[in-house]
Amino acid sequence: MSLKLLDTVPDFTQDSTIDSFSFYDWAGTDWVVLFSHPRDFTPVCTTELGAVAKLRPEFEKRGVKVVGLSVDSLARHHEWANDILLTQGAELNFPLIADEDRRISQLLGLIHPNASDATTVRTVYVIDPAHRIRLTLTYPASTGRNFSEILRTIDSLQLTDTHKVATPADWVQGGDVIILPSLDDGAARALFPDGWTTHAPYLRTVAQPGAHSAAS
C-alpha cells in the first residue's frame, strides 16, 4: 500500500511507549505529524526525536499531535529514550510506536524496497483532522529532517483550509499570500475589501488574513 495526498490513513492499533496505541482514538479531531525511523539508536534519528520533543509546544499551539514509529521493540524504545535524554537534553514526550513486526510500516507504505525489503524509510506524514494525508516528505538516511519547515507547511495548510488563498515560495507566518485564481475580482473584493497587489492577471497578493489578530 502506498499512501498519496488526500488518501485516508487507515486506523490501526499497536504497542507504543504510551502502552497500546489506537491511531483514530489518539488523534481525535487534531492534526497529526507521523514520522518513521529505520531502527533505534541511529544517530540522525536520535537528534530528530530530541528536536521534536523540544518543539512540542509549537506543535500543540497549532493543534497538532506528533507520533514516531520505529521498527524495534518497545524495550529498545525505552532504552533509546534514555539516550535521547542524555544526548539531546529532552525527554521523549510523545508516543513512539513499536513496529517490530513491521505491520504498521507495511500498512502505511513505509517500507522502501529499493533500500531494503524490511527497513522503513524516513518519511513524514502530515495528517488532517479527517485522517487524510496532506503532506508527505521522504528523507535519505544521511539528512536530518527540518521540523521548522514542517511547522511552516502546517501553518500554510491550516491557513489555506480556512481562507481562499495559497502561500507563495518561502512564505512564513505573517507574510503576504496569493488570492486563488478561481476568485474573480468581484468575489475577491468581498473577501479582501482593503485591496491587493496585482502582479499578473493570475497572480494577486494580499496581506495574510488574520495576521494582525494572530500577532496581537
Which residues are designated catalytic?
45
- Take residue 108 and report the three cell numbers written for it: 502505511
Distances (CA, A) of 112 to 71, 134, 165: 13, 20, 35
Closest CA to 67 of 111, 127, 129: 127
Sequence-distant (≥ 6) Cβ neighbours of residue 173 within 8 angstroms: 152, 155, 208, 211, 214
E strand or H helix at 139, and its extent? Answer: strand 133-139
**Rounded distance, CA 177 to CA 57, Å?**
26
Closest CA to 150 of 31, 37, 47, 22: 31
- Take residue 171 and report the three cell numbers written for it: 512564505
φ/ψ of 136, rounded to 5, equals -130, 140
**Rounded distance, CA 105 to CA 120, Å?**
7
